[in-house]
Amino acid sequence: MNPRRVGAVARKEFLHVVRDPRSLLMAVATPVLLLTLFGFALTLDVDNVPLAVWDQSNTPRSRELVGRFDGSRYFSLRMNVDNYRDLVRAIDSGQAMMGLVVPSDFAEEIEAGRDAPVQLIVDGSDSNTATIAIGYAGVVAEIYSLDLTIEQNQRRGGPPLRIPLDIRPRVWFNEELESRNFIIPGLIAVIMMVIAAMLTSLTVAREWERGTMEQLISTPIKPGELILGKLAPYFVIGMCDVLLAVLMAEFVFHVPLRGNVALLFGMSAVFLVGALAMGMTVSIVTRSQLLSCQVAVVATFLPAFLLSGFIFTIANMPAVIQMITYIVPARYFVTILKGIYLKGVGLEILGAQAALLAVYAVVMVTLARVRLKKKLT
């Protein structure tokens, strides 16, 4: 391994990147743009569920129930209707996601101490949001029912009611339950995987298409030196992207960083080497800039987005898909980022994931070295 030859290749590749504004735009602006778009647009929080109400009772009791829903941060009263046809139209058109129907004898049943059924109609097109919204509605109804029970007991002069089970939840690592706090760290992993592979997916293929690969083959440079020299500039650019992503997470999205910053950048460097080497391997095999870019996007974005645990819980996937996730490196990097960002843990907890990332980086660099042969065919 000759450092001078590696440095010469790295300098050549770096000059090419600097002189190509499109490459610089892809390398710097694209991660920032993607992080901004996904960071603000992608959220799993369910707030202000649009609600339509048909209050057939129209009494203080029924208005109090409706007020409980409207006063909650999770529901937003959009309209009052006076028939089922308008209620159905509101849900069909998307003006409301949930419909609350209070029967005409609601107040009479409450005053008589009997059960008062209330109908809740939910748009189940988005099953996850509908499930969460039903849970919120159940909590509002339970609190209202408990208040009514206490009021009726006091009216009868009975002894104070005691609740035998007192649950006191304490949320760790994400006290405010903000989805942004766990989406942003995972998003950094997905974006870096895609950008790194796309950057290097063009390097060797570009040499073949421009006819300069023959000149490199005729030089004394070895395949390993060529790979390291071409990876070096993109590694520096990738680490700058990591720095930008960390700064945006801190000052734009206000995601708490509780762990070791040096460990964060160290693990990012290991992951980046593997992702860059993967892109270069694709470039070596395809020898076409267009094809290599397409293959790199498909091979990185979809697995990283769907199979890394970034959005979808791996434990809920079919057993076969769970087995496939073990070969997706973003799975381990997402776990590492969330552990460092939210839990503040170190290698004593994340050691296995870090080791697997290192194995991935070594395998990808070795594969690129094996596939790159100084031959014209």
Residue 164 falls inside a structural domain: no
Among residues 182, 187, 193, 186, which one has the least CA distance to residue 37?
187
Classify residue 358: in a domain, yes or no.
Answer: yes
* Helix, strand, coil share (%) of the chain residues, nearest 5: 65, 5, 25
CATH code at 122?
A: 3.40.1710.10
> Could you tell me if 7 and 74 lie in one domain?
no
Average pLDDT over residues 132-138: 92
How would residue 376 be classed by pLDDT, with cut points 50, 70 and 90? very low
**What is the strand order of the sheet 119-122 is part of?**
75-80, 49-55, 98-102, 119-122
Q: Are residues 354 and 209 in the same domain?
A: yes
Based on the domain organization, do 63 and 38 belong to the same domain?
A: no
Residue 326 and residue 237 share a domain: yes
| pTM of the complete model beyond 0.95 | no
Sign of CA dihedral 40, 41, 45, 47: positive
How is residue 160 annotated by DSSP?
P
Shared domain for 199 and 111, answered yes or no, is: no
Token pair of 97 as six digits:
């996601």
Can you give the residue range of the structural domain that contains 126? 49-156
| Residues 54, 110 within the same domain | yes
Instruction: State whether 123 and 254 are in the same domain.
Output: no
Number of domains in the chain: 2
Q: What is the mean pLDDT of residues 204-222?
A: 71
Sign of CA dihedral 319, 339, 350, 231: positive
Tell me 27's DSSP state: I
201 and 268 belong to one structural domain? yes
Q: Which of 123, 156, 189 is the last residue of a domain?
A: 156
Q: Looking at the structure, do residues 354 and 332 belong to the same domain, yes or no? A: yes
Q: For the residues 300-321, what does the mean pLDDT come to?
A: 88
Mark whether 131 and 273 lie in a shared domain. no
Separation CA 64–CA 119 (nearest Å)? 16
Verify that 238 and 354 share a domain, yes or no: yes
Q: pLDDT (tens digit, 9 = 90+) per residue, 14-57?
A: 887 777 777 777 778 888 888 888 888 877 778 889 999 999 99
